[in-house]
């Protein structure tokens, strides 16, 4: 039912974006602070209380954006298998160059989980509870899927890393 | 309501920066690439944020979180706080310093009679007691962060008193072994603390923090506990609270060592 999935995804995107849009209104930066952000992204500023408020607003805006994208990515992660064969979802930000990294990541997580069993299986038993608490939409995923989705989203969306 | 709560969490997160504002110093502010954060460091369980203060002085950019900043929004045992804590890790760049000063109270020898943490129970202790369950959750969170930050190519340090059994509890032994963490023993007293306070620092990453090791400061006599005639000891609450904060000298040493290897 690919059509239905796409439709569901579209609805989810729309809903989430609407919600986030409301949350972001206080994250608008003043013209002055935007001007300060010139010069190649690096600048020095007096660390005053006013500046702190602006910094907090900037941070808030970034966190909101990240949350939005993380949720979208995780949502799509539930639709692909992260075991031996890595299928990159069309919704993931990782392009073809990340596939090799994903495979390496999968092997790394596998190695870790194999060892975990020998050490009592605490990670398998307890980490999903923590991850689910932070990201309820990951409920039902196994620990490997959770860890891979989490890292994959961070690596692909937030920075570049080769394993 | 929960979303609103999360918003506040993100705002309150930077309380430390407000504290530093009174000093009117300048801060090298690195704009995030693509509108995303690119933290040089994340200090978990930062207390009064002495380490963050010195990292900021060095020109690094990052975040510091602790329950004492906001009892609800920065509680990593609550959904919103936990999400904030994990998102911060995701925003850290390669070789970012991830510092875990996890609360040690339920893992130290001083609480052994109550916590009942022994090898037989994998140092998980008497889980009928709430402070033990909280300790276990904090330990598993720290363990998870250590694993994730290893995968993310960060420099992670877990700081605990030398007599804390946290590194032996739950999933930590396997994580520390898997990430090839190196143990450094040092003394808070060697960095200007009023008591000796031996520390164990578990470092995972490509950096080198050996320079944090110091000889035992034998000239210090102040103890964090008092002993009775039968050999039982009780912690001195005031001294323990003071010893929970890093001294400026210790924080400066960490910031110096880190900045020497990973320039801001």
Tell me the pLDDT tens digit for each residue of B237-261. Answer: 666 666 678 999 999 999 999 999 9
Structure confidence at residue B136 (pLDDT): 95
* Amino acid A42: pLDDT: 28
Residues A64 and A107 in one domain: no
In this complex, which of B21, B28, B36 lies closest to A62 when CB atoms are compared?
B36
CA end-to-end span of chain A? 35
3-state secondary structure (DSSP) of residue B248? helix
In a domain, A117, yes or no: yes
Whether residue A65 is contained in a domain is answered as yes
Encoded tokens for A66: 């990240």
What's the CA angle centered on A162, arms B84 and A82, to 5 degrees? 70
CATH topology of domain B2-24+35-261: Rossmann fold (3.40.50)
Provide mean pLDDT across the span A19-45. 33
Shortest Cα–Cα distance, A161 to chain B (Å): 8
Chain A 33-72, residues with CB within 8 Å of chain B CB atoms: 37, 41-49, 51-52, 55-56, 59-63, 65-67, 70
Tell me whether B206 touches chain A (CB under 8 Å). Answer: no
pLDDT tens sequence across A103-144: 777 888 899 999 999 999 999 999 999 999 988 888 888 999
CB A86 within 8 A of CB A99: yes
- Which residues of chain A are within 8 Å of residue B27 when distances are taken between CB atoms? 44-45, 47
What pLDDT, on the 0 to 100 scale, is given for residue B98? Answer: 97
A86 in a domain, yes or no? no
Residues 6-25 of A with CB under 8 A from B: 19, 23
Dihedral sign (CA B6, B10, B13, B18)? negative
Residue A17 resides in a domain = yes
Contacts of residue B173, defined as CB under 8 A and 6 or more positions apart, other chains included, come to: A119, B167
Tell me the nearest-neighbour CA distance from A4 into chain B, angstroms: 28
Could you tell me which residue, A22 or B2, shows the higher pLDDT?
B2
User: Going by C-beta distance under 8 Å and a sequence separation of 6 or more, which residues neighbour residue A154?
Assistant: B89, B90, B152
Same domain, A19 and A63: yes
Count Cα atoms within 13 angstroms, Cβ side, for B107. Answer: 26
Q: In this structure, is residue A163 part of a structural domain?
A: no
One domain, residues A13 and A71: yes
Q: Containing domain of residue A134, as a range? A: 96-158
Question: Which chain B residues are closer than 8 Å to A150 by Cβ?
Answer: 86, 90, 148
CB contact B140 to A (< 8 Å): yes
State the average pLDDT for chain A.
Answer: 55
How close B252 comes to chain A (CA, Å)?
Answer: 20
Which residues 6+ apart lie within 8 Å of A79 measured at CB? A5, A89
Residue A137 lies in a domain: yes
Residue A90: inside a domain, yes or no?
Answer: no
Which residues in chain B are closer than 8 Å to A134, comparing Cβ atoms?
Answer: 79, 82-83, 85-86
Percent of chain A at pLDDT > 70 equals 32
More confident residue, B51 or B29: B51
pLDDT of residue A143: 92
Return the sign of the alpha-carbon dihedral for residues B155, B159, B165, B166: negative
Instruction: Check residue B148 and give its pLDDT.
Output: 93
Give the whole-number percent of chain B exceeding pLDDT 90: 45
Mark yes or no for CB contact A47/B177 under 8 Å. no
Residue A63: its pLDDT value, please? Answer: 53
CA–centroid distance for A14 within its chain: 18
* Bridge partners for B157 per DSSP: B99, B203
Give which of B171, B172, B264 to mutate to test A binding, by max A Cβ within 10 Å. B171
Segment B54-79 mean pLDDT: 84
Please give the residue that has the higher pLDDT: either A127 or B223.
A127
Residue A91 confidence (pLDDT) above 60: no
User: For residues A69 and B195, what is the distance between their CA atoms, to the nearest angstrom?
Assistant: 48
In this prediction, residues B68-90 reach a mean pLDDT of 82
**Other CB atoms within 10 Å distance of the CB of residue A16:** 16
Shared domain check, A55 and A116: no
Q: State the average pLDDT over residues B65-88.
A: 83
Residues A73 and A7 in one domain: yes
Hey, of A159, A160, A163, which one would you mutate to test binding to chain B, going by the most B CBs within 10 A of its CB?
A159
- Is the model's pTM score more than 0.90? no
Could you tell me the pLDDT band of residue B43, with boundaries at 50, 70 and 90? Answer: very high
pLDDT score recorded for residue B131: 93
- Of residues A83 and B116, the one with the higher pLDDT is B116
CB contact under 8 A, A161 and B14: no
Report CA-CA distances (Å) from B99 to B111, B208, B211. 24, 14, 16
Predicted confidence at residue B193, as pLDDT, reads 87
Calpha distance A162→B94 (Å, rounded): 11
In the predicted model, is pLDDT for residue A97 greater than 80?
A: no
Rounded-to-integer distance, Cα B202 and Cα B142, Å:
12
Name which residue leads in pLDDT, B195 or A45: B195
DSSP B98: E
Which one of B151, B181, B204, B206 makes the best mutation probe of the A interface by having the most chain A beta carbons within 10 Å? B151
- How many domains, chain A? 2
- Do residue B94 and residue A131 have CB atoms under 8 angstroms apart? no
CA of A129: how far to CAs of A112, A118, B53, in Å? 18, 20, 33
Residue A101 is predicted with a pLDDT of 64
Regarding whether A65 and A35 lie in a shared domain, the answer is yes
Chain A residues 119-148 within an 8 A CB cutoff of chain B: 119-120, 122-123, 126-127, 130-131, 133-136, 147
What ipTM was reported for this prediction? 0.83
User: Which residues of chain B does A162 touch, with a Cβ-Cβ cutoff of 8 Å?
Assistant: none
Give the residue, A46 or B93, on which the prediction is more confident: B93
Least confident stretch, A147-156, B122-131, B202-211? A147-156
* Per-residue confidence (pLDDT) for residue B146, from 0 to 100: 96
Backbone angles phi, psi at B226, to 5 degrees: -110, 145
How far A1 CA lies from chain B's nearest CA (Å)? 32
State the number of CA atoms in the 13 A half-sphere of B14 facing the CB: 21
Same-domain check for residues A73 and A117: no
Of the segments A11-15, A74-78, A154-158, B119-123, which one has the largest average pLDDT value?
Answer: B119-123
At A100 the pLDDT is 55
Q: Does B107 touch chain A (CB under 8 A)?
A: no
CB contact under 8 A, B90 and A118: no
Distance CA B213, CA B183 (A): 10
For residue B161, what pLDDT band results from cuts at 50, 70 and 90?
A: very high
Q: Look at residue A141 and tell me if it is in a domain.
A: yes
Residue A3 pLDDT exceeds 50:
no
Average pLDDT, chain B: 80
Residues B189-211, mean pLDDT to the nearest whole number: 92
Burial class (CB in 10 A: 0-12, 13-18, 19+), A114: exposed
For β-strands B39-44 and B92-100, DSSP reports them as parallel
């Amino acid at each position: 039912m690919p059509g239905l999935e796409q439709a569901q995804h579209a609805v989810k995107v729309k809903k989430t974006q609407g919600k986030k849009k409301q949350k972001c209104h206080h994250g608008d930066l003043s013209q002055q602070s935007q001007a300060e952000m010139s010069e190649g992204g690096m600048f020095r500023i007096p660390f005053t209380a006013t500046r702190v408020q602006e910094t907090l607003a900037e941070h808030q805006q970034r966190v909101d954006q990240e949350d939005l994208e993380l949720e979208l990515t995780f949502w799509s992660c539930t639709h692909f298998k992260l075991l031996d064969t890595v299928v990159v979802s069309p919704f993931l930000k990782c392009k073809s160059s990340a596939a090799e990294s994903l495979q390496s990541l999968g092997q790394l997580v596998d190695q870790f989980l194999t060892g975990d069993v020998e050490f009592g299986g605490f990670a398998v038993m307890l980490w999903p509870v923590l991850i689910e608490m932070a990201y309820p939409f990951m409920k039902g995923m196994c620990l490997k899927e959770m860890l891979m989705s989490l890292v994959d989203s961070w690596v692909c969306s937030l920075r570049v890393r080769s394993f | 309501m929960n979303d609103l709560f999360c918003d506040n969490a993100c705002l309150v997160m930077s309380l430390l920066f407000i504290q530093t504002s009174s000093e009117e110093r300048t801060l090298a502010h690195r704009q995030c690439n693509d509108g995303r954060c690119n933290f040089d460091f994340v200090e978990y369980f930062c207390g009064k944020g002495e380490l963050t203060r010195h990292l900021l002085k060095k020109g690094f950019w990052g975040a510091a979180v602790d329950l004492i900043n906001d009892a609800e929004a920065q509680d990593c045992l609550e959904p919103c706080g936990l999400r904030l804590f994990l998102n911060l890790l995701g925003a850290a760049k390669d070789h970012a310093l991830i510092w875990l000063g996890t609360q040690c109270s339920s893992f130290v020898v001083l609480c052994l009679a109550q916590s009942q943490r022994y090898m037989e129970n994998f140092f998980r202790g008497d889980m009928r007691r709430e402070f033990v369950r909280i300790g276990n959750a904090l330990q598993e969170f720290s363990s998870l962060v250590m694993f994730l930050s290893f995968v993310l190519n960060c420099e992670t340090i877990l700081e605990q008193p030398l007599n804390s059994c946290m590194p032996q509890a739950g999933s930590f032994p396997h994580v520390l072994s898997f990430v090839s963490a190196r143990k450094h023993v040092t003394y808070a007293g060697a960095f200007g603390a009023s008591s000796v306070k031996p520390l164990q620092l578990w470092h995972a990453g490509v950096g080198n923090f050996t320079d944090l090791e110091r000889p035992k400061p034998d000239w210090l006599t102040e103890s964090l506990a008092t002993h009775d005639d039968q050999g039982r000891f009780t912690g001195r609450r005031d001294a323990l609270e003071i010893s929970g904060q890093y001294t400026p000298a210790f924080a400066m040493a960490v910031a110096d060592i880190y900045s020497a290897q990973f320039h801001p």
